[in-house]
Amino acid sequence: MPLATTQGFVLGWSPYNEQDRLVTLFTKDKGTLRAIAPGSLKTGNRFASLFELFTEGEFHYYWQENRELITISRGETIHSYFRIVSNPGNIFYFYLMADVLLTFIPFHSSDPRLYKLLNSILTRSEENIAIDLLLLYFLAWTLRIEGLMFNPRMCSNCNMRNLEQVWVRSDFRGILCSDCRTNESLILSKEELSFIGWTEKNSPELLESWRDRIDIAKLIRFFTRKIEFHGECTLKSSRYLKEFA
């Protein structure tokens, strides 16, 4: 059986049988993988902490050509974010990020920009940047990487620029000025459009400057709905966020 090594984040796990876990990994070079972790449910197993949500590790594994699942032979923790991720005020935001990667991004689809994005979000979370702003940045960039972010600087119908407010098209593929809108109801302000454009060239350590300038909850709901529309999926974890109450 072939042997390989990959670096990745744990997106979640479930029992595979009485002693083994079925683990989902978001890897740096191979996209999303499903793996069996033999014996990891045994009491006192020293690798149990390796499989906490968003723990980054180096995983050694083998596979059979006719099986989708890989089997982890051993692993080492590179960085644990358990203290930040497990915080009751943060956990559901991180669940939504994992849900997006599991539901919206195709399995085995490898894009180093997504891995870099997730690594940046987790790193900044340890620097006490607010989790709602980090989630917003993550959602915006996930859409951008997947080629689904519209141009926030002009009407998608008539190309008018310098808009004070816009209406989002019902198919989420662009924005409309007041002259081009029909029955669209979702409105974005000039500041909210500026934020979307700002994320394109700025890193998340400066996010706090937007705290009182945009409706964070509205934009989280908007980006989540856009992902669900384009991905033809339901992000069930969103129901636990206060922004969707």
Sign of the C-alpha dihedral computed for residues 111, 56, 22 and 67 taken in this order: positive
Distance CA 146, CA 165 (A): 25
What confidence score (pLDDT) does residue 25 get?
A: 96
Distance CA 38, CA 63 (A): 13
pLDDT > 70 in the chain, percent: 99
Which has more pLDDT, 128 or 195? 195
Distance CA 136, CA 196 (A): 10
Q: Residue 108 has which token pair?
A: 């085995």
Per-residue pLDDT at 1 exceeds 70: no
Reported as a single tens digit per residue, the pLDDT across 27-38 is 999 999 999 999
Whose tokens are 């399995």? That residue is 107
Quick count: other Cβ atoms within 10 Å of Cβ 52? 17
**3-state DSSP assignment of residue 27:** strand
Please report which confidence band the pLDDT of residue 3 belongs to, taking 50, 70 and 90 as the band edges.
confident
Reported as a single tens digit per residue, the pLDDT across 106-153 is 888 889 999 999 999 999 999 989 999 999 999 999 999 999 999 999
Per-residue pLDDT at 66 exceeds 80: no
Query: Lowest mean pLDDT: which of 7-16, 61-70, 221-230?
Result: 61-70
What confidence score (pLDDT) does residue 120 get?
A: 97
* Domains in the chain, CATH or no CATH each: 3-80 (2.40.50.140), 84-244 (1.20.1440.120)
Average pLDDT, the chain: 94
- Please name which of 49, 100, 110, 101 lies closest in space to residue 75, comparing C-alpha atoms: 49
Per-residue pLDDT at 2 exceeds 80: no
